[in-house]
């Protein structure tokens, strides 16, 4: 209702809604966040300890102000989170937000290389959905040295749909 009536809300009131497990609530909260002045919430998002707030807030940051500086900040925060425990759901969402941020504003070469190192260590995971998102990022960022692991996955007993997804993306590797 606040979103449709074009109302604003204080950041402190918005943060608990950003953490919601209900994707409709958290999306509405993110849309409201995007209406607030960037300077009033950017630092709070990038220093938050809540993974859900970071995910939704970084998506808002990438949308509101796409720049290599913000993409680097988003990737840096995500790499920090990935050093600890991240649930499967949150990990997939982190990967998806990184894809959006990178698409809107590519990171610097140094950040790109650091990210590739981190992501290549995660592949392959035991979760097919995670692997799909990892493949998209690793191929999109042109990860060198990942081809052997991709070929091993193609030769494995993975379901055909997973092999097809991988093969479709491998054609974009240079």
H or E segment and range at residue 36 = none
Answer whether 158's CB lies under 8 Å from 127's CB. Answer: no
pTM: 0.90
75-133 pLDDT, tens digit each: 999 999 999 999 999 999 999 999 999 999 999 999 999 999 999 999 999 999 999 99
144-169 pLDDT, tens digit each: 989 999 999 999 999 999 999 999 99
């Amino acid at each position: 209702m606040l979103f449709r009536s074009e109302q604003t809300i204080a950041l402190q009131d918005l943060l608990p809604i950003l953490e919601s497990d209900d994707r409709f609530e958290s999306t509405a909260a993110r849309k409201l966040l995007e209406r607030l002045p960037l300077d009033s919430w950017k630092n709070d998002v990038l220093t938050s300890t809540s993974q859900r707030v970071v995910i939704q807030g970084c998506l808002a940051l990438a949308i509101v102000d796409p720049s290599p500086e913000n993409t680097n900040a988003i990737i840096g925060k995500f790499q920090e989170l990935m050093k600890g425990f991240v649930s499967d759901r949150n990990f997939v969402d982190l990967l998806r937000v990184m894809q959006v941020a990178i698409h809107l504003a590519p990171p610097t070469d140094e950040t790109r290389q650091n990210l590739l190192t981190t992501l290549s260590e995660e592949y392959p995971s035991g979760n097919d959905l995670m692997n799909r998102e990892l493949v998209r990022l690793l191929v999109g960022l042109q990860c060198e040295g990942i081809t052997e692991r991709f070929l091993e996955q193609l030769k494995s007993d993975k379901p055909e749909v997973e092999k097809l997804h991988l093969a479709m993306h491998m054609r974009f590797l240079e």
